[in-house]
Amino acid sequence: MNKRGQAKEGAPLYRQVCEYLLNRIERGEWKAHDKLPSIRALADELQVHRLTVFKACRELADSGKVYVRDKSGYYVSPDHPQEAKADSGKKKIAADYSHMNALSDIHRLPARYQFSQALIDPNLLPNLYLSDYVKKVFDLYPKVMGTYSSAQGDEELRLMLSRHFREKLRLQLAPEELVITSGSQQAINLIIGTFLGPMDAVLVERPTYSVALDLFRRAGVRVIPIEITAEGYDLDRLEHVMQRDKPRLFYLNPTHQNPTGATVPAWQRKRIVELAERYRCLLVEDDPFRDMYFGEAPPPPFFAYDTEGWVIYISSFSKYIAPGLRICAVACREPHVERLIVAKSLADSGTSLLNQKIFLHYYTSSRLQQHVGKLRIALQVHKEIVEEELAGSGWEWTPPQGGLNLWVKVPQAVSVDALFRRAREESISFVPGHICDPLGEMQAWLRLSYSFASEEVLREGTRRLVQLARELDGSCSHT
Amino acid sequence: MNKRGQAKEGAPLYRQVCEYLLNRIERGEWKAHDKLPSIRALADELQVHRLTVFKACRELADSGKVYVRDKSGYYVSPDHPQEAKADSGKKKIAADYSHMNALSDIHRLPARYQFSQALIDPNLLPNLYLSDYVKKVFDLYPKVMGTYSSAQGDEELRLMLSRHFREKLRLQLAPEELVITSGSQQAINLIIGTFLGPMDAVLVERPTYSVALDLFRRAGVRVIPIEITAEGYDLDRLEHVMQRDKPRLFYLNPTHQNPTGATVPAWQRKRIVELAERYRCLLVEDDPFRDMYFGEAPPPPFFAYDTEGWVIYISSFSKYIAPGLRICAVACREPHVERLIVAKSLADSGTSLLNQKIFLHYYTSSRLQQHVGKLRIALQVHKEIVEEELAGSGWEWTPPQGGLNLWVKVPQAVSVDALFRRAREESISFVPGHICDPLGEMQAWLRLSYSFASEEVLREGTRRLVQLARELDGSCSHT
């Protein structure tokens, strides 16, 4: 992880060359002990600087994929796995999490005490109601299954959402300024594909949503961390970085942040929008937890302070209504909207119309508000159960004002990696903190999601987890 | 178009630099008449060869984005559109089709005579039946809306599909070797993201599915055309190109091909799989029209001849069942499956479970086979209507044995571009051939989709189109 982490601030180009060479090795074009073409030949072929190829070869040598012989060149290492068809048919699930999509790997491990999924317990969702709305949708739109949505998204849905945003959040939004995507993750992907190139600098919160981090890394951008705490960001540092690195965008999740639960105060929101304008940095505001507050409603989104079109607002309320629907709305101004529509049309030519219509009809119902109110209470109870069990354990956290996660620091003597392995054995899952850290550090932290497990499972699992940490702590101090 | 076309066989790197510079100009970092940093400074900043930067600047100068002054450097052109907020809120629809997603742009233009959409007329789809199956799904899985599918896709669906592929196409497939995506376009996107880097060579048919072409171009790969005719491919040329260019993959649509309607014969399928194996080239077989045959059923897919795991099979039957569901299955062997699952989990973390379950229950019903049988007849009738209207017009085509399109050559004196503009005025839409050509040529061709319009609209529209071409032909010969 650390090794990977280093690359992120470096040049992406040599890594592309690495990938290219590795691909050819994996395809068996060069077999074990074959000599690679000369640096000069490769540089000519790929039309890159020789130093770039050199750097790529060094990297491959460092990782053991190739070796150097008598200074005569680079040779393919014998132990490099060929495109083996070993165990074909049987799915191998990696037992560790040093993977391209770390979080997804963790989720694929079954767990009795599921604290790694920042999802709502399906039992808390309005399943019965929803099935009614589906039937209604078929009566209203008998041909819904035979019809594609436009790439931008169903017009009726966008009209409803623009009204909703105006009434609830005082956002002035035309239906033309909304794009419907299949979940917020797709939205982030489309934004990356549309606005970022491999040489761009991107700011992300530290810690942040690990899936977004994976997506940015995969895009080959330079990821620059901005610390987030219960007080928000250090604005001087933020301005300094914006000035120095000219980031193309800042990906932020400023309301009940994942994983910290922090909410950026209103005064900072206003100021950051000004900074974004001055330094021409897009603010990509991911806002899936806004309605899941425990006390007061959070401040308005960054988007509300933006008059110049620098904020792209990702609003993915379907998480706490019907995650299965995968409906997300992206709000932004021209010329960004038009570019996102093109990206969406290329990605999948439009989200399923059925899902959009179901969402539309449920979202406009009075049942929805009742459901959201109940869900807030349920989540707060869940959060308090975990806090009760952690009290007196030596674990530290800042109580979140909303959201689905507790971001916890374990006592110094406990290794989170060791705890993760032990917890896996006991069928307890959580997210190790370093996965959420753009620098791959934060080794003492972990994320506990309290939204998915039932109350009893939550209590029992947290108790067990604390006990496991105690045992590890004890064994450490004795060795 | 031609201008763009030239770049595709060249180096992608300088184009990345172009993009990067253009981005900064568009963001207003450099304004009109500002001097760009020196070639040396940019090369250092981006860690690329100076020649690459030079080439990028030349390209920008050629396209008028920057200008050269007294050999002292490059300056931003005054007429370059700044990040203007002009007409914000109002959606501008480009009247031409020289766009990133050419086909999508055409589809956004409303048309009374809709011959550009290769989609089934919604009236031919089993809308009523489907609504029954949806209700069944809710009874069977009351929590379907609250549940995410796994990234790979619903297990029950994959199990059913693996049985189906075994029984209908004799493909030996485990459920673990299938990945469910939201439509075939997403499948192509995931495959590009997983297996291709910006420096790779990719083979595509000429002509081909223009959306795939857009996706490959966007990925910055080198696109190499392979001619397809009613007889299939020229295998000597194919082998030569595989040997010379070492393509990473060949994207093909060998059954009732879009746009030509051609079907590659069985003997070629077998042989091409052998070539793919020898030259380590993935075959990406897109197969959405297999069941839409008019005479005999087509030969088995390439996938059936593959024993070494070089074929990735994209099967998107939802097109003629319920396009609105957006369900597509990708079949491939290890280690490709595992990599595609990661890509899917990053793209959107899984296709909507509801849609998968509806598809599952409808697909296993006896009603489906009845529907498909009827649809085949309807499509054949549609095709024949167009052929009747074109007979004696001087237009040329090879009658397709299946699929949704007629690939037509207009008489020499007619310009397809001029015809397109005239047709638009009469609310007739079709796809100009050059959009489907990786070389941007094929100026005398066009694609007429006969699947979407009703019989009367089809007859009337084709008649009008032929008449328009006659008028253009006449006006040409007189000037």
Identify the helix (H) or strand (E) that includes residue A105.
helix A102-108
At B119 the pLDDT is 84
DSSP 8-state symbol, A177: G
Q: Indicate yes or no: CB of A334 within 8 angstroms of CB of B89.
A: yes
CB pairs under 8 A between A and B: 265
Q: Indicate yes or no: CB of B49 within 8 angstroms of CB of A47.
A: yes
Residue A41 CB contacts under 8 Å (≥ 6 apart), including other chains:
none
What is the per-residue DSSP string for B86-141? TTTTSPP--SS--STTHHHHHHHS--SEE-S--S--GGGS-HHHHHHHHHHHHHH-
Q: Taking residues A125-135, what's their average pLDDT? A: 79
Give how far the C-alpha of residue B66 lies from the chain's centroid of Cα atoms, to the nearest Å: 33
Q: Indicate yes or no: CB of B120 within 8 angstroms of CB of A325.
A: no
Give A275-294 pLDDT, tens digit per residue.
Answer: 999 999 999 999 999 999 99
Residue A12 pLDDT grade (very low, low, confident, very high; cuts 50, 70, 90): low
- Output B123 or A230, whichever has higher pLDDT: A230
- Output B298 or A49, whichever has higher pLDDT: B298
User: Which residues in chain B have Cβ-Cβ distances shorter than 8 Å to A127?
Assistant: 142-146
* B440 backbone dihedrals φ, ψ, rounded to 5°: 70, 15
- Residues A62, A74 contacting (CB under 8 angstroms): no
Q: Taking residues A55-62, what's their average pLDDT? A: 85
Tell whether A309 is within 8 A of chain B (Cβ).
Answer: yes
Residue A74 CB neighbour total at 10 angstroms: 26
- pTM exceeds 0.95, yes or no: no
Calpha distance B136→B132 (Å, rounded) = 6
Structure tokens at A278: 């001055």
- CA-based nearest residue in chain B for residue A120: B146
Stretches in chain B below the pLDDT threshold 50? 1-11, 80-99, 477-479
User: Which residues in chain A have Cβ-Cβ distances shorter than 8 Å to B125?
Assistant: 143, 145-146
Calpha distance A377→A386 (Å, rounded) = 15
Residue B114 CB neighbour total at 10 angstroms: 23
Q: Indicate yes or no: CB of B16 within 8 angstroms of CB of A198.
A: yes
ipTM of the complex model: 0.74
Which residues sit opposite B312 in a β-bridge?
A: B284
Distance (Å) from the alpha carbon of A476 to chain B's nearest alpha carbon: 36
Residues in chain A, total: 479
At B475 the pLDDT is 67
Output the CA–CA distances (angstroms, integers) from residue A107 to A116, A188, B181, B338, B449, in the order listed. 7, 20, 19, 15, 44
Give A14-46 pLDDT, tens digit per residue.
Answer: 777 887 788 788 767 788 888 888 888 888 777
Calpha distance B51→B429 (Å, rounded) = 44
At A94 the pLDDT is 29
* A70 backbone dihedrals φ, ψ, rounded to 5°: 45, 35
Output the CA–CA distances (angstroms, integers) from residue B287 to A36, B258, B264, B389, in the order listed. 38, 10, 12, 29
Q: Taking residues A412-434, what's their average pLDDT? A: 94
Nearest to B242 by CA among B229, B224, B266: B224
User: Which residues in chain B have Cβ-Cβ distances shorter than 8 Å to A334?
Assistant: 85, 87-90
Is A10 a residue whose pLDDT tops 50? Answer: no
The interface residues of chain A toward chain B in range 75-134, judged by CB-CB distance below 8 A, are 83-92, 99-101, 104, 108, 119-120, 122-123, 125, 127-128, 130-131, 134
Tell whether A205 is within 8 A of chain B (Cβ).
Answer: no
Is residue A114 helix, strand or coil? strand
B212-B213-B216 Cα angle (round to 5): 85
Distance (Å) from the alpha carbon of B74 to chain A's nearest alpha carbon: 21
Calpha distance A179→A334 (Å, rounded) = 12
At A108 the pLDDT is 66
Q: Is B12 exposed, middle or buried (0-12, 13-18, 19+ CB in 10 A)?
A: buried
Calpha distance B448→B451 (Å, rounded) = 9
Describe chain A by its helix, strand, coil percentages, rounded to 5.
Answer: 50, 15, 40
Range in A213-227, A296-310, A345-359, B117-131 with the lowest mean pLDDT: B117-131
